[in-house]
Structure formats: structure tokens, C-alpha cells
Amino acid sequence: MSKENPFSPAFPVNPKYFVNRIEIIDSFKRAFDRSTKTETPTPDNIAILGDWGIGKTSVLRKFETMALEEFRERKTFSVIVELIPASCNSLTSLTSHDSCTNFSENQK
């Protein structure tokens, strides 16, 4: 009997089903602590890079859930800017609000 993988590269995993990647999660927690526990909070930027289908969006959604739910008392917000590669071919396209980005902001 073969087991089918329930996850698809086309759809990010729900953060509540996110497992492993302990090093990445610990790194995020350290960056989050560093940026929110100072007298004047200073945000860190995080870039997740890699090939299609390896879980970049799933990792970002896990980070977002952690920031908004697990660290709620720190009054955080989340912004995810998704770059659409075909139209992100210059610095100008990245800095203008055109078809290069898919912008979403969440706050709790």
C-alpha cells in the first residue's frame, strides 16, 4: 500500500500542521526577540529564498502565525510581500505599486 503525500507545492501548509524545521523556527524566535524586546523596537527583515515547492510560503505563514498569536502581547503586525517573478525585473518595479507585488498586511 502506497502512502500519498497530503501536501502540495501549489498550496502552503496550514501553520497548525507545520512540523520540523526547528532551526528555522529558532532563528525566527531569536530575531523576533531581538527586534521586540529592545526599548525602542527595531524590526528585522527576513528573506526566505529557494526553489519552487520547498515550503517558503509555508514557513512565512508559520512565522506570521507565531508573531500574531504566540507573541500577541508584543502587539505585532505582519506584512508579506509576494514577488511575482515575471514582472519583477528591475529595481523600479520593486519600488512601485504595480503588478510586481502581491501585498497583504495582517494585524492583531
Number of domains in the chain: 1
CB 14 within 8 A of CB 7: no
In whole angstroms, what is the distance from residue 30 CA to residue 32 CA?
A: 5
Whether residue 50 lies inside any domain: the answer is: yes
Q: What is the mean pLDDT of each run of 10 residues along the chain (108 residues)?
A: 70 84 89 80 76 86 87 77 64 59 55
Whether residue 6 lies inside any domain: the answer is: no
CA distances to 14, 25, 68, 78, 86 from 72, rounded to whole Å, are 19, 17, 5, 12, 36
pLDDT value of residue 105 = 55
C-alpha cell at 4: 500519498
pLDDT value of residue 104 = 55
Whether residue 27 lies inside any domain: the answer is: yes
CA distances to 12, 26, 31, 65, 103 from 106, rounded to whole Å, are 17, 22, 19, 10, 10
Domain enclosing residue 38, as ranges: 15-80
pLDDT value of residue 86 = 62
pLDDT value of residue 1 = 57
pLDDT value of residue 67 = 85
Whether residue 94 lies inside any domain: the answer is: no
Whether residue 103 lies inside any domain: the answer is: no
Whether residue 105 lies inside any domain: the answer is: no
Q: Which residues share a beta bridge with 79?
A: 105
